[in-house]
Amino acid sequence: MAEYTKHGSARAQQRGISQLILDWLIEYGRLTRQRGANVYFLDKDGRRRLRRDIGGLAYKRLADLFDAYAVVSDDGVVITTGWRQKRLKT
């Protein structure tokens, strides 16, 4: 279970990003550094691995949730979360 800043917790709740989605972002997502923090998001390869592990039906039902991203500090604290509107710089 991830640790959140006060801001990160509020944003995850406001944006409807559950702990499960956050865990999947960190486990299956691609990591990139932006502005001194780690940004996790699901790229094509991560989505493929996730689909293999959770099954096609579950993946289809949850597919709308896979455009989320998480910004995490170097010590593993979630700073903020959000929904990708456009491609992230890698």
Beta-carbon-side half-sphere exposure of residue 58 (alpha carbons within 13 Å): 10
Q: How is the chain split into domains, by residue range?
A: 3-83
pTM summary value: 0.87
Digits of tens for pLDDT over the chain (90 positions)? 678 999 999 999 999 999 999 999 999 999 999 988 999 999 999 999 999 999 999 999 999 999 999 999 999 999 999 998 776 565
Beta-carbon-side half-sphere exposure of residue 62 (alpha carbons within 13 Å): 18
